[in-house]
Amino acid sequence: MNETPKDRLDRWRACAVLHVDMDMFYVGVELLAAPGLRGRPVIVAGAGNRSVVLSASYEARAFGVRSGMPLARARAMCPQAVLLEPHRDAYDAYSGRVMAMFREITDRVEQISVDEAFLDVAGAVRRLGPPVGIARGLRARVRDELGLTASVGIGANKTVAKIASTRSKPDGLLLVQPEDTVAFLAELPVSALWGVGGRTAEALTGVGLRSVGDLAAAPVPMLTRLVGRAAGHHLHELANGRDPRPVEPVREEKSVGAEETFARDVADDRVLHETLLRLSHRTASRLRRQGLRARRVGLKVRWADFTTITRSRTLQHPCTSAHDLLEHGVGLLAELGDRPQPVRLIGIRAERLEPATDALQLSLDGREEEWVAAEQAMDRVHARFGAERLGPARLLPPAPRKPEGNSEAVDSRVRGANSAPDGLSW
């Protein structure tokens, strides 16, 4: 029987969930500025052996290097790898451009990290054609316009699409039709299912349930005895290709923040304050990019013996500026009093987030608004020229010494970076 246009649209809409996952995203962004490193093992991580791997090229992964691994271990496994320090502002900027591309296709975009998202394109197929064509066009656009690659999985639901994108890496595309879903899942290990961690996988394999097909055929009472009632039912549904969760366009951010582990423990207030300044700018930039503001600021400090404490304060007026985040962060640090040990890690968080478009009571002297305007201008410079072109003067490297007698010589970087609103300085 011939397929009618309506039948065709219905078929496309029955398998219209895309999971897009950027390939080695941090490495990919770094290689845009260092194309000569393509094809070589590359690791993105902060300096110092206490750091962890943020991202690794596929050449480094061949040696066993993985994200989240201690840098010291990664370097031992792949000593020939090139180590690149992260540029987080660049990652946020490219992430914003990628997500904007997604939202041009459909308003049903659920971003789940800086480099991956679900898209429900059921509403776009009449205009753009089948989901596989949409995915091909999207991958081509990301490659041509940004110089990055993405892997895409397509399925009838989020679980299938997520697994399909993982199986298509690197730089691939995999479509799993609804009628093929159970067979596709059956041969996979139980750990492939979303939410099956090490302990759950150990409990399942301990009774002979090694594949997703084993899990799909297992009696539900058996699964509930092993992993609990709710988890047992949930895993049985997933193993049989059933996942009713919709793609949710709005994900409520509970907090936004940044932290840094020092290569050596720090007792110097100047270093701690400069680090908080850098982290405050990183956090405030994310707030503004996402159209959010914070009603509470949190501080995280980890001592040399790994003891970790957190402190927070609720703000009288919500904020989006790094200046305000820094002011409260430094205040919280001072409230700790005499520190018992040097600091191993410090971080700052913006909490109790709300849309920045809501009505806001302005400060009496206008200083808060001046800071926001100044930092928004800096955002525009970063978007056009890169994050290295403009920043707080306190974070710039020391200016080169000038010949004696040239009293009017001023380092141009400091002159440009110190142009803050009157009466204010970083």
pLDDT tens digits along 228-274 = 888 889 999 999 999 999 998 865 567 889 999 888 899 999 999 99
Residue 411 — very low, low, confident or very high, per pLDDT cuts 50/70/90? very low
Q: Which residues contact 423 (CB under 8 A, 6 or more apart)?
A: 367
> Which class would CATH give 255-393?
alpha beta
Q: Report whether pLDDT(166) > 70.
A: yes
pLDDT value of residue 113: 85
Q: What is the pLDDT of residues 42-100, one digit of tens each?
A: 999 987 767 889 999 999 999 999 988 889 999 999 999 999 999 988 898 899 899 99
- The per-residue pLDDT for range 92-147, each reduced to its tens digit, is 889 989 999 999 999 999 988 889 999 999 999 999 999 999 999 999 999 999 99
Average confidence (pLDDT) over 167-186: 96
Instruction: Quote the pTM value.
Output: 0.67
- What's the CA gap between 162 and 183, in Å, rounded? 16
**How much is the pLDDT for 24?**
95
Whether residue 392 has pLDDT greater than 90: no
Hey, what CATH class is 182-239 in?
A: mainly alpha
Range of lowest pLDDT (122-126, 297-301, 380-384): 380-384
* Residue stretches of the annotated binding site: 21, 115
Domain map (residue ranges) of the chain: 182-239, 255-393
- Once rounded to an integer, what is the mean pLDDT over residues 183-194? 92
Q: Which residue has the tokens 């004696």?
A: 404
Closest of 211, 176, 222, 168 to residue 14, by C-alpha: 176
* List of residues 6+ apart from 380 with CB closer than 8 A: none
| pLDDT surpassing 50 at residue 417 | no
Which residue out of 30, 59, 110, 116 is catalytically annotated? 116
Q: What is the mean pLDDT of residues 371-383?
A: 59
* Higher per-residue pLDDT: 30 or 293: 30
Distance (Å, whole) CA 115 – CA 119: 13
Mean pLDDT over 303-321 rounds to 87
- Residues belonging to the binding site for Mg(2+) are 21, 115
**What share of the chain has pLDDT > 70, as a percent?**
82
Q: Is the pLDDT of residue 363 over 50?
A: no
Cα–Cα distance, 290 to 114 (Å, whole number): 12
Say what the pLDDT of residue 51 is: 82
> Is 237 annotated as catalytic?
no
On the question of pLDDT at 168 being above 80, the answer is yes
- Sign of the alpha-carbon torsion through 230, 235, 238, 240: negative
Angle at 326 between CA 325 and CA 328, to 5 degrees: 70
Least confident of 14-23, 149-158, 376-385, 401-410: 401-410
The set of residues, in sequence order, having a beta carbon less than 8 Å from that of 308 and lying 6+ positions away, is: 300, 301, 302, 345
**pLDDT at residue 386 is higher than 70:** no
Local confidence band at 190 (pLDDT 50, 70, 90 cut-offs): very high
End-to-end CA distance of the chain: 72
